Structure 1
Amino acid sequence: MDERKRDSMIAYLRHRMEEFGIKPEDLAAALASESMAKKGERYRNATGDSWDGNGEMPQWLKQAISAGQTIEHFELSPKPVPAPQPKKAVDWSNDPFAGTPLARSNSR
């Protein structure tokens, strides 16, 4: 989003918040409570149904497991995404085939 659109959207949201009497603190509290509620989720399916792992297992999860799916499939776990490893630079200065037809071959 470019800067002008962003500023316009912020102005619009501020206006609407003022219109409805919503303070930035109210918004921050609502967002914080929402994220706390989501932290309780441990399992979620594709339609958004979730379960925190406490109490009786919900019907959607029972059905999926009886159909052959594993409970781990639905588990929400923050798995760190591995950082891409930088490719090693190749030193072609000592390549014995440099400049030969073999080096120019297009076969892969």
Structure 2
Amino acid sequence: MDERKRDSMIAYLRHRMEEFGIKPEDLAAVLANERGGQKNARYRSATGDTWDGQGEMPQWLKQAISAGQSIGHFELSATPAPAPAAAAPAKKRVDWQNDPFAGSPLARSNSR
């Protein structure tokens, strides 16, 4: 988005907030609460969908499991893992963010 469009959008949003009596502090509080809700997420997909493990399993997770992916693949760790020992080689991290096949049978690898 170019600078002019951005400034125009900000002016529009300020006008609408004033029209409805919304203060910047109100907006900040709502955004803070939404971020806080994401901390409770227990599972996350490559596209950013989350589930806290409560209630019915979301469709994205059902589809991934039926395609052969393990639920553990999507689980977020509650605490950071300890640093690997100096003798152990570092495991290459894979960025699944832009992988169109994440969660599908094409993403599984038999070579370990």
TM-score by length of 2: 0.51
Partner of 1:38: 38
**2-side partners of 1:76 and 1:51: how far apart?**
10
Shift of 1:7: 1.1
Q: 1:68 to 1:4 in 2, by over 3 A?
A: closer
Gaps of 5+ in 1: 83-108
Q: Tell me which stretches of 4 or more aligned residues in structure 1 moved more than 4 Å.
A: 45-49, 59-67
Partner of 2:16: 16
**2-side partners of 1:62 and 1:4: how far apart?**
43
Deviates more, 1:69-78 or 1:34-43: 69-78
Query: Partner amino acid for 2:23?
Result: K
Q: How does 1:96-107 map to 2 (within 5 A)?
A: none
Q: Secondary structure at the match of 1:27?
A: helix
Q: Secondary structure at the match of 2:12?
A: helix
Larger RCO (CA within 8 A; separation ≥ 6): 2
Q: 1:31 to 1:66 in 2, by over 3 A?
A: same
Q: Secondary structure at the match of 2:68?
A: coil
CA RMSD, Structure 1 to Structure 2 (Å): 3.6
Query: Given the alignment of the two structures, is residue 75 of structure 1 paired with residue 83 of structure 2, yes or no?
Result: no
Q: Secondary structure at the match of 1:32?
A: helix
